[in-house]
A = this chain, B = another copy of it.
Amino acid sequence: MTTHRLGDLARQAGARLIGDADCGITGLSVLQEAKSGSISFLSNSKYRKYLKTTKASAVILEQKFLDECPTNALVSDNPYLVFAKIAQLIAPLPEKKAGRHVSAIVASSACIDVSASIGPGVVIEDDAVIGAGVDIGAGCVIGKGCQIGDDSRLVTNVTLCHGVTIGSRVLIHPGAIIGSDGFGLANDNGVWIKVPQLGSVCVGDDVEIGANTTIDRGAINDTLIGDGVKLDNQIQIAHNVEIGAHTAIAACVGVAGSTRIGKQCTLAGGVGVVGHLEIADNVHFSAQTLVTRSFTEPGYFSGNLPAVPNSVWRKSIARIRQLEDIAQRVRHLEKQSQQMIDDKLDQDI
């Protein structure tokens, strides 16, 4: 890594510098392992205990922690954002060579920009259109008629099935599958009949798609992933799902068919969403929550059962199963109690 002037980094990242603008920064590190020349950050208060003794040359933090900072500080209301911007400035760009590797198999009808990089073993099928600056890593398969916008990157072993459209500046991680058939089945006296999946997938600009995530093609219309959507690893997006712009979905989430999720939502890890629902903008679901109905207003929603010691859990589960009984006994007690009060009133009268 080259050396960056701290004052320049502060200015470019939009933070207020308290300290030496000429301090040289060569790398990034966590507070507790920082060495001279590195810049660190404090955004999760769990790590505050490491601030006072950090050896970092600069720390990005909120105003309220400034007193505890033993070195140069970059002050911001959003230290993690400042850190992200500085990391982008400092981190080396991935290498990319325009042109195609000799082992790539490219259909003659495919249209590939001269500035695109096509890696070893890549397969590009008929009529695909690959934009300027696109980087397709080893082993990717680009199906017939796919379109990939400028400056997008498919890291390695990514599969785009036929007819998929990918926007610009999209980043797709290894093993992701875009455009596989939706799970469309009609039941004919106990035998499942396949419903052909004739739509496709349309992915907007600035989207990130995690490793081994799958996005199915639509049955008739397309599955739609909005601009700026961020999908973590191991996610399943079913056919005809629509995800609004700038929604972020953590790992291991499954969204069932035809559900529409609004803009700027967040789904934590392991969430499941059933099909044919409408989720408004700015809706947030906690980890492992199951979403079984539409949510038409913004808000935070949950439905999980956090871990407790096994003995406690066994009793809780047993009691949950007795809840019907408990509720009836409470109702009976209420009646008895009311009867006694009535009797007493009668007596008193």
Contact = CB atoms under 8 A, between A and B. Distances in A.
A306 B313 CA distance: 12
A296 interface: no
Interface string A229-257: 01011101010000000101011101010
A72 interface: no
Interface stretch (A16-24, A63-71, A109-117, A136-144): A136-144
Interface in A309-330: 309-310, 312-317, 319-324, 326-327, 329-330
Given A159-B157, A330-B333, A85 B175 contact: no
A96 interface: no
A290 B316 contact: no
A141 B139 contact: yes
Interface residues of A, number: 129
Given A29-B220, A157-B177, A177-B233, 14 more contacts: A88-B193, A88-B194, A121-B121, A139-B139, A174-B177, A180-B210, A192-B228, A236-B252, A287-B290, A287-B292, A306-B317, A315-B323, A315-B324, A316-B324
A198 B139 contact: no
Contacts of A270: 254, 272, 290
23 contacts: A44-B276, A85-B193, A88-B193, A91-B198, A105-B138, A157-B157, A159-B174, A171-B181, A171-B194, A175-B214, A183-B233, A192-B246, A250-B256, A256-B287, A290-B305, A291-B307, A293-B306, A293-B307, A302-B308, A319-B324, A319-B326, A326-B330, A329-B330
Copies in the complex: 3
Contacts of A44: 276
B155 A156 contact: no
Interface string A72-95: 000000101101110110010000
Contacts of A252: 236, 252, 254, 272
A251 to B, nearest CB: 4
Contact of A337 (B180, B320, B337): B337
B81 A186 contact: yes
A208 interface: yes
